[in-house]
Amino acid sequence: MIGKGHPFFPHLETMLEAARLARGIHLYYLEKGFTEGTKSGPTDLVTQADREAEEAIKTLLLERFPEAGFLGEEGGSEGNAALRFIVDPLDGTVNYAHGFPFYGVSLALEAEGVIQAGVVMDTARGETFYALRGEGAYLDGRPIRVTGRGELLGSLLATGFPYDVAQDPENLTYFARALRRGLLVRRPGAAALDLAYVAAGRLEGFWEVKLNPWDVAAGWLLVEEAGGRVTDLTGKPYTLGNRYIVATNGRIHEALLEALLTEVE
């Protein structure tokens, strides 16, 4: 189990509390009904649940840790950049709005540029994935590990596409290369959960183009603490804000990078 002596254990406890609060808001609006709008385009949805969940998370976290800053999908960045919470209040909004049960909440704590704590809660299933740096990754109190599969062919992979894929179609190239090689690829639509699934051994790998820090910060830590590997598309260590992310069990990593970057003859 995670040691209570870890310097960021109190932050993790509050992040778990905030995730439960956000899930309650998601479920409330599923029952009550909600209004929705758009941001960058007609497929980039935002709902009352997004906005209210972020406000509730922000209020709780900053009441407990007023010295911290906050970066959220809906409200942008404010406060201390050296210690900040990075939050997606509803990852998979399009899924949520359509009743497709693959969406959740993602919270991470970054200190001096390093992700120290992460929580991803699956609203539909009620599962909670969490990690503290150096303490391993967990699902509802049980330790999780990436899979031991070493062959790319037969591995289960996931990817996703940006809302403006018609204007930014780069990942269609990588997706097509993967399919032409006979690789097994899913597109569930919530990157935070995709990464949590890699950590939990439900997927061998995940890649995507053009994600934001709040999409990946918590899941990135989960994968690494579960024994996996996270890089950019060239194999260099991943950094927040990088256009490319590739996360795997480590054993198929090089083969996946090669498959994505190499044309099929």
pLDDT beyond 80 at 43: no
DSSP letters, 203-217, are -SEEEEES--HHHHH
- What crossing angle do the helices spanning 213-225 and 191-199 adopt, rounded to 10°? 0
The shares of helix, strand and coil residues in the chain, as percent rounded to the nearest 5, are 35, 25, 40
pTM of the model as a whole: 0.95
Tell which wins on pLDDT, 39 or 50: 50
d(CA 237, CA 241) in angstroms, rounded, equals 12
Read off the pLDDT of residues 222-263 as tens digits, 9 standing for 90 and up: 999 999 999 999 999 999 999 999 999 999 999 999 999 999
Query: Which structure tokens are listed for 70?
Result: 């906050």
Strand boundaries in 32-113, DSSP class E? 36-38, 45-47, 69-72, 76-78, 83-91, 104-111
**Average pLDDT estimate for 100-112:** 98
Any idea what the Cα angle at residue 205 is, between residues 11 and 14, rounded to 5°?
A: 10
pLDDT beyond 60 at 97: yes
Q: Give the chain's mean pLDDT.
A: 95
Read off the pLDDT of residues 174-217 as tens digits, 9 standing for 90 and up: 999 999 999 999 999 999 999 999 999 999 999 999 999 999 99
Any idea what the Cα angle at residue 197 is, between residues 14 and 106, rounded to 5°?
A: 30
pLDDT at res. 36: 72
